[in-house]
Amino acid sequence: MKRISFLILLGLMLWQCKNNTKEKNVSKSTYNENQPKQEQKKPPKYDSIRINMDGFTGYYRGPEFNEEGDIAHQFSNKAAKVIGEFLKESYRAKNYLKVHIQGIKITTQGLDQEDSVYYSLSIPFQQANPCTAHTGIEHCGSWNYQPKLFLNQRLERQKKALQTISKGKMNCKLFVTPEGFQEYWIFFKHLTYQGNCK
């Protein structure tokens, strides 16, 4: 009888220890509304973009360089991606658009490789037919006064690489701002969308 009583007593003690441990664990993980919430830091937004059937407008205002390199000039990459996707999407919807190349406006302010910069880009669209529309866009530029010879060599390499995905003649124009920003914008017929065109 003593053994049974001892076993019951031992079982109750062990059971009590387990319940105390569970309560302690629950209380540790319980949310306390008086604790400050941890803030999630969002990366700063330096740019603004709008695009519709009339065209693309956007700007970048922020540091010229950061740990990622020439972050301001990377706005051109973002713009080219957004415009390219929009032109392709419009083409699939049978809204044929081409870039009005003569209407493009590029502005830079504060381009001195020291602090912040303002870079704006306006690329208007025009209605087109299926074989005059643009479904591809690329750019090739220099943020830091690269000699035109080197820029032209880069352009030729870029155009040669694009021949694998383009159809017909590419439209290309160099834009230069008073502060020395130079960039070629290239518009073309994408082979996937306009393979039957000349």
150 domain residue, yes or no: yes
Q: Which pLDDT tens digit goes with each residue over 76-126? A: 999 999 999 999 999 999 999 999 999 999 999 988 877 889 999 999 999
66 domain residue, yes or no: yes
110 domain residue, yes or no: yes
Residues 6 or more apart whose Cβ sits within 8 Å of residue 133 = 87, 91, 96, 97, 98, 189, 194
125 domain residue, yes or no: yes
Tell me what pLDDT residue 26 has. Answer: 44
Surface-to-core class of residue 6, CB atoms within 10 Å of its CB (0-12 exposed, 13-18 middle, 19+ buried): exposed
Tell me what pLDDT residue 27 has. Answer: 42
Q: Which pLDDT tens digit goes with each residue over 28-78? A: 444 455 555 555 667 678 889 999 999 999 999 999 888 877 888 889 999
User: Contact at 8 Å (CB) between 136 and 84?
Assistant: yes
Q: Which pLDDT tens digit goes with each residue over 136-180? A: 999 998 776 678 889 999 999 999 999 999 999 999 999 999 988
Residue 3 φ/ψ region, left for φ over 0, alpha for ψ in the -120 to 50 degree band, beta for the rest: alpha
Where residue 1 falls among pLDDT bands split at 50, 70, 90?
low
Domain that residue 134 falls in: 47-193
User: pTM higher than 0.85 for the full model?
Assistant: no
52 domain residue, yes or no: yes
The total of structural domains in the chain comes to 1
122 domain residue, yes or no: yes
69 domain residue, yes or no: yes
27 domain residue, yes or no: no
Q: Which residues pair with 54 in a beta bridge?
A: none
